[in-house]
Structure 1
Amino acid sequence: MNPQDAQKAALRAPEKLAATHELEPFECGVPSLDDWLKRRAWRNEREGASRTYVLCAGNRVVGYYCLAAGSLVSAHAPGKVRRNMPDPIPVMVLGRLAIDRAWKGRGLGRGLLRDATLRVLSAADVAGVRAILVHALSDDAKRFYESCGFAESPTDPMTLVVTLKDVKTALDL
């Protein structure tokens, strides 16, 4: 499906990566994010390293994110995140989030972050999760996450963290 036809197709709600999804046409403009989806997402699914969720027009992937369980050493967490928490702090890692170039500027990134947050909140009902952690790949990505309530790690300005409470507020959940 070419990009013009894909834009005419209705977007489906984000869903778990499946064999029917068309990955090859995906191009967000960041080669490492494009390659990860096309070359690593399935392997990570099979090995249990992460779970990938996709936003599709028809079967063509136009956006995706992945989640993995993780932890954060207290010294690397902003004060609000580490307060009254064990060391290390249980977090959910938002490993990737990307939107196809043809679909940028429509609020889909924020929509995927909202979906990811809802899934993290559901997981937090089963196992302890204090926050969501992301490693921003660019200053633009960093600004996006900061606009959604994420704060810098005191040890790495491109590592951003947000408590579940704060991201719920920022995304009006």
Structure 2
Amino acid sequence: MPVEALDAVQHNRSDFRCGNERVDRYFQRLARQAADRFAAQTYVLVPAPPRPTPCEVFGYYTFVQHAYRDSEMDPTTARALHVKNLGTIPTILLGQLGVSSAHQGKGVGSALLRDALRRALHVALSIGAVAVITDPIDDAAAAFYRKYGFRPLPKQEPRLLIPTSQLARYNHDIVSAFKNRSSAIEIPYGPQNFSA
């Protein structure tokens, strides 16, 4: 089953129900708007093609860029992340994660989180981010994230964090592919590429 960036035409948002009204409402009403405004990006787990249009969404997650000021992060955590005295500490916020009620207990949440963490590592290698953070909606969600290596962020609970360095240790293929790619990326420049 592929994980794809949310598409307003291809993916059925209106029928999605996960059992949490806030998570449902975000996906149904706000996810596309946030993506259109470059404020957040939502990814969906959907059936493999061929499939109807719009297709059922088994689950989704959303990424948002996030940054801490030095003063906001616990000094012990900042030292552990090797970011003490940087001024600004870049992170990636896993803002939402929901699994359709019809597909809960079938590994969809795990598949989504694995995809999210691998995608986050790729983003971190491209633009820099020392950790992925998330705010679990309840104790069960917190336990789920902890199973994958997230730990509490001191003085900001229930927020959880997983260091990017930890993701890199378990995803050598992404790190190697990133380091071995050509450093020269051809980008066509000119006024036509940036006009409104």
TM-score range, shorter chain: 0.7 to 0.9
Partners of 1:172 and 1:104 lie apart in 2 by 30
Cross-structure match for 2:5: 16
- Preserved contact between residue 124 and residue 164 of structure 2 (Cα < 8 Å): no
1:97 aligns to what SS in structure 2? strand
Which residue among 8, 11, 15 is the counterpart of 1:25?
15
Cross-structure match for 1:105: 105
Q: Which has the larger radius of gyration?
A: 2
C-alpha spacing 1:116/1:78, structure 2 compared with 1 (3 Å): farther
- Preserved contact between residue 131 and residue 164 of structure 2 (Cα < 8 Å): yes
- Preserved contact between residue 78 and residue 153 of structure 1 (Cα < 8 Å): no
C-alpha spacing 1:141/1:77, structure 2 compared with 1 (3 Å): farther
Deviations 1:129-167 (A, max 9, x none): 110010111111111111111111111221001102324
C-alpha spacing 1:113/1:104, structure 2 compared with 1 (3 Å): same
Matches within 5 A, 1:77-96: 77=74, 79-80=76-77, 82-83=79-80, 84-85=82-83, 86-96=86-96
Cross-structure match for 1:6: none
Partners of 2:74 and 2:116 lie apart in 1 by 21
Instruction: Give 1 or 2: higher strand fraction.
Output: 1
Q: Which amino acid is the alignment partner of residue 138 of structure 2? A: S
How many residue pairs end up in the alignment?
A: 162
Asked if 1:62 is matched to 2:51, the reply is no
Structure 2: runs of 5+ lacking an equivalent: 174-196
Matches within 5 A, 1:134-149: 134-149=134-149
Cross-structure match for 1:157: 157
Partners of 1:104 and 1:121 lie apart in 2 by 26
Report which stretch shifted further, 56-65 or 126-135: 56-65
- TM normalised by structure 2 equals 0.75
Partners of 2:15 and 2:138 lie apart in 1 by 23
Structure 1: runs of 5+ lacking an equivalent: 1-11
Matches within 5 A, 1:37-48: 37-48=27-38
Q: Percent identity of the aligned residues?
A: 29
- Preserved contact between residue 131 and residue 163 of structure 2 (Cα < 8 Å): yes
Cross-structure match for 1:76: 73
The structure showing larger relative contact order (alpha-carbon pairs under 8 Å, at least 6 residues apart) is 1
